[in-house]
Structure 1
């Protein structure tokens, strides 16, 4: 489980550069997943592709492409203990607000 200190440790270790407040908020969401133990197998356009939540992958990618979409951030996270469980996180900029949505795909 993520704590304030673990999230801040991920942010400090990454030393990200932000273009705006939306970048900052999306990165906090990302840091929370990483500090909770999730892996990041897809970002950006790969994260919103039709097969983003299908076959399990644990190969990690960089967060750098997470904001490659216009007014949108997209990330896919996988639980390393149950690689068939994935979470798609989309952050959409709407009227200068950041809407954050997460969709979990569980396989039992």
Structure 2
């Protein structure tokens, strides 16, 4: 049994670069989404006692703070729209990278 080390290194580099790109574009997309005034607010979920869950009052307070921050944004409407479109493009790049990886796995054997 022989190990093709050059192939191993190629797969490692491809996986590392794609992971960095997906995480980078996703975080940039979230940042631009917040700058556009569309901060994602997640409703609290019910878990076991081992996980601390925020109350409904705290969730309302977080939504109110997000709305207040969106009103104070120094960006113009055009800049907000550009940030929103760019955020969606970043999310599309993430989806394309994941889909491309899946297609390589499924059809390139």
Fold in common (TM above 0.5): no
Report the TM-score, using the length of structure 1 for normalisation: 0.27
Report the TM-score, using the length of structure 2 for normalisation: 0.27
The higher-RCO structure (CA 8 Å, 6+ apart) is 2
Structure with the higher strand share, 1 or 2: 1
